[in-house]
Structure 1
């Protein structure tokens, strides 16, 4: 912010981009462990750093244009949230580690997510830090030159406004933490199987028999606790399970033995269309298919290649893009119904997008189950970051979120965002959970990122107003002086 308020928009954009590269590069270093990861990591850092760069440039421009100090200072969190919201949109939208995710353990604060989503938490972080910036700039003007409020009265008023918002948020948090978010006494016992299959052998047919034996053995062990549903992770069966009669017979026999529902990840081939899907399917205790869900939001360049049919026409690229998966996207969320609970499944990457979980809850799900395979990221921070993001899916929708991960982190998260239990990474583990249907529907579930949209509208309204007034001043000045008008230095308001 020191740079934003002391440099011109162009320089602020550059400094913001450099900050973004350092920040994005630090939180996503794990991309380098993927095949071709350094290229992906470089592109990711360069592209997504445009958002903090845009934030810095806009703030710097407004500082040059506006003389009303309250507007300049008060706009900061609105613009930050607008940039986070824009970053979440479109097929390249990416909501991995927003600023608000850093507070996942501050349960009293993050309860506001049931109204605003995680971006409401980001708003508060920026607003509070902005207060400290103003206080430091006022008291140490020689060291901090970014202050916009010039007297003690202005700083006190702004500080009090932020304190009232913060205390109101915390009070709401205390209220929600002491409110029951479960409906009735109906409980469902779940066993989460974390087999810890290394990615290097997961898709190797030579190891498939041993992998299946491990799942069977761990499921039999879990059955001693009499679970209602057993979970296997994303692509636990790395083959077309529904077309493999021999394997289906073995699983059917197992389920009759342990008398439980099984939710597992697999790969599904639709014979009529020859389309391949990353799939979650549920089998009954008799081994019959109950329901299946095809992953809707695929990983660009990992599970599918945007514009593949055009790129394949280029002979130079044909062999380069050949190894990239050809998964197709599912079209709708699915409700899995059992005698105990109705739930929806999101697969891996989908759990970072709040809108998918919202649609699940609006369709009638009573909890969310995440199946994932984070073995791709080895022993990096990615599995832990992925788990943190699921905390906000629980709070936003006031529902239990259960995560089943191949190598971890598997976890059980309460509707308040409290992580009841979780596993270490790269450790064979069975996690047992008792979950309950959620009670009621939250504001966020109904309306989604309306708070972020409100911030976006406020920012665009201010920018439009600034441009209109600036344009009028420009025309008036040109008519009067018949000279040049300095668009960057003139202040309006």
Structure 2
């Protein structure tokens, strides 16, 4: 008679997929993956096109809950990686709509060209989502789990600093310094908190959002099991946020007081575009006929007197040669001298007694190089210019490492160097162009160089999804607040606006339809704390991280803070 059956080691693993080990693995996966994916989705929905900005205040809480539980090093990274990929896939999806822009291809067959671009952009969308979202979120959660060790108090102190440094600053450095979908951007709709950008830039706003999520986690944990430390964290976060609101309201009052002491001028942004253009839509020098007609009406006094008029980029088919040189990247008959342009512009300006200063977006050639520029005109002719410094990858230049993908413009632009502001009469103007609104340093540099007002031209028509125009319009509000300056923003398609230093839109275009946006603005001289000191919040974040690292012994950093789970 045979003896009792004895299970051999590994027997359950070989019988099928639902072995005890497999069930344990599924249970472990279910303990962190759904919460991580939920966090990425909630934070993604806080940005356009969903635009549920208030979700930013609690969207990260599920991910922080995962890190508050016993979790190993690999799981901590994967939790952030999964959430970050979902977040990036959602917020970057509108950018894929750029495939309709034929400027990336020299192909005559636009249908096949746009189909190819769509496929390549989809691939790039996934790659950037994994890189910019997954990797950097994973790094954030990994380091937070090591340094916080499950402590809610340490999480409240460390999570904002780590997210600012790893998930936003380092991520922006790795993605052409573009600050797309920073959590602080979601607070633009909150007037009182928006004012804090004048103190710490978008970094301070992100800090508050992450801290608010830690507070939400503390409240949820208290509902499950009340503990003194958890209530202390909730009280601390509530106090900080209340102080932030009070500080924002104080900053708002101070800015309004400054504005009340300054004289106002009439400024305007002219917006016009057609769905399709033909050669007959341009005059001989390459300027759009419709812009010539609209300018003639304004300069001849058919509208109210305007002191400063801004036109968007892409209003001409040709380029202006600022110094008489020519570029080989454009046909010679598409490049005209500054004198030829001056005859046309001054001819229009002389139609009336107007003393309007004019700023317009043109392709410009200087030293034989082609630039995307804003050109300034006064009653006596050409006054100055600004060459775009931060070019858009693929659209205006081809990043070398990704050039094999085939996304490159018909002709490449050259970046401009940081220049002084442009003197227009008794005042100085600073400039940034189109997607430079995503890079705060450009507007800040113009302000520190003496700009008393900011102007910007652009064209969001490259993107078929209107969510891109919404994002850029809100970032323009943030740039005005950060630097305490009025901003006159003219977009060929998108949202044109006159924005005051509190971020309020004094006047705004109704979408992408043709419109003359007119408002009152003031030239200002004061510097905000952010303009003077720049990214000081980043330095503070590094200091917090350094202190946390020093106070947590190295052996505990290298080992899991939850050894029991690691041994399982």
The reply to whether residue 219 of structure 1 matches residue 295 of structure 2 is yes
The answer to whether the 8 A contact 1:222-1:430 is kept is no
User: Equivalent residue for 2:139?
Assistant: 54
The answer to whether the 8 A contact 1:9-1:57 is kept is yes
Residue 441 of structure 1: how far off its partner (Å):
0.8
User: Equivalent residue for 2:399?
Assistant: 306
Consecutive unaligned residues in structure 2, runs of 5 or more: 1-63, 100-116, 322-334
Change (3 A) 1:356 1:42: same
Residue 255 of structure 1: how far off its partner (Å):
1.5
Task: Work out which of the residue numbers 203, 218, 230 in structure 1 matches 2:309.
Answer: 230
Change (3 A) 1:349 1:464: farther
Q: Tell me how far apart the structure 2 counterparts of residues 15 and 229 of structure 1 sit (CA, whole Å).
A: 52
Residue 448 of structure 1: how far off its partner (Å):
0.7
RMSD: 2.6
User: Equivalent residue for 2:512?
Assistant: 426
The answer to whether the 8 A contact 1:28-1:382 is kept is no
Within 5 Å, give how 1:370-409 maps onto structure 2: 370-409=456-495
The reply to whether residue 135 of structure 1 matches residue 219 of structure 2 is yes
Change (3 A) 1:160 1:422: same
Residue 133 of structure 1: how far off its partner (Å):
0.7
User: Equivalent residue for 2:229?
Assistant: 154
Task: Work out which of the residue numbers 175, 181, 202 in structure 2 matches 1:97.
Answer: 181
User: Equivalent residue for 2:157?
Assistant: 74
Task: Work out which of the residue numbers 239, 242, 245 in structure 2 matches 1:170.
Answer: 245
Task: Work out which of the residue numbers 357, 368, 378 in structure 1 matches 2:443.
Answer: 357
> In the comparison of the two structures, how many residue pairs are matched?
454
Q: Tell me how far apart the structure 2 counterparts of residues 325 and 466 of structure 1 sit (CA, whole Å).
A: 53
Q: Tell me how far apart the structure 1 counterparts of residues 262 and 157 of structure 2 sit (CA, whole Å).
A: 46
Structure with bigger gyration radius: 2
User: Equivalent residue for 1:88?
Assistant: 172
The answer to whether the 8 A contact 1:111-1:395 is kept is yes
- Aligned to 2:318, the other structure's residue is in SS state strand
User: Equivalent residue for 1:148?
Assistant: none
User: Equivalent residue for 1:455?
Assistant: 541
The answer to whether the 8 A contact 2:497-2:507 is kept is yes
Change (3 A) 1:419 1:321: closer
- Aligned to 1:216, the other structure's residue is in SS state helix
Consecutive unaligned residues in structure 1, runs of 5 or more: 142-150, 312-316, 475-485
Task: Work out which of the residue numbers 64, 78, 98 in structure 2 matches 1:14.
Answer: 78
Structure 1-normalised TM-score? 0.85
User: Equivalent residue for 2:196?
Assistant: 112
Change (3 A) 1:114 1:187: same
The reply to whether residue 123 of structure 1 matches residue 202 of structure 2 is no
Q: Tell me how far apart the structure 2 counterparts of residues 278 and 175 of structure 1 sit (CA, whole Å).
A: 39
Residue 335 of structure 1: how far off its partner (Å):
1.1
The answer to whether the 8 A contact 2:506-2:520 is kept is no
Per-residue deviation, residues 167-195 of structure 1 (Å, max 9, x unmatched): 22111222222222338533322121101
Residue 2 of structure 1: how far off its partner (Å):
2.6
User: Equivalent residue for 2:434?
Assistant: 348
The reply to whether residue 26 of structure 1 matches residue 104 of structure 2 is no
The answer to whether the 8 A contact 2:438-2:472 is kept is yes
- Aligned to 2:476, the other structure's residue is in SS state helix
Change (3 A) 1:406 1:361: same
Residue 205 of structure 1: how far off its partner (Å):
4.3
The answer to whether the 8 A contact 2:268-2:488 is kept is no
- Aligned to 1:343, the other structure's residue is in SS state strand
Q: Tell me how far apart the structure 1 counterparts of residues 440 and 267 of structure 2 sit (CA, whole Å).
A: 24
- Aligned to 1:234, the other structure's residue is in SS state coil
Q: Tell me how far apart the structure 2 counterparts of residues 388 and 444 of structure 1 sit (CA, whole Å).
A: 18
Task: Work out which of the residue numbers 301, 318, 339 in structure 1 matches 2:425.
Answer: 339
The answer to whether the 8 A contact 2:264-2:521 is kept is yes
Q: Tell me how far apart the structure 2 counterparts of residues 169 and 321 of structure 1 sit (CA, whole Å).
A: 44
More off after superposition, 245-254 vs 416-425 = 245-254
Residue 355 of structure 1: how far off its partner (Å):
1.3
The reply to whether residue 267 of structure 1 matches residue 363 of structure 2 is yes
Change (3 A) 1:448 1:338: same
Q: Tell me how far apart the structure 2 counterparts of residues 326 and 119 of structure 1 sit (CA, whole Å).
A: 33
Residue 422 of structure 1: how far off its partner (Å):
1.2
Change (3 A) 1:488 1:124: closer
The answer to whether the 8 A contact 2:185-2:202 is kept is yes
Change (3 A) 1:85 1:467: farther
Change (3 A) 1:354 1:467: farther
User: Equivalent residue for 2:110?
Assistant: none
The reply to whether residue 2 of structure 1 matches residue 65 of structure 2 is yes
The answer to whether the 8 A contact 2:95-2:465 is kept is no
The answer to whether the 8 A contact 1:394-1:415 is kept is yes
Q: Tell me how far apart the structure 1 counterparts of residues 432 and 243 of structure 2 sit (CA, whole Å).
A: 33
- Aligned to 2:288, the other structure's residue is in SS state helix
Structure 2-normalised TM-score? 0.74
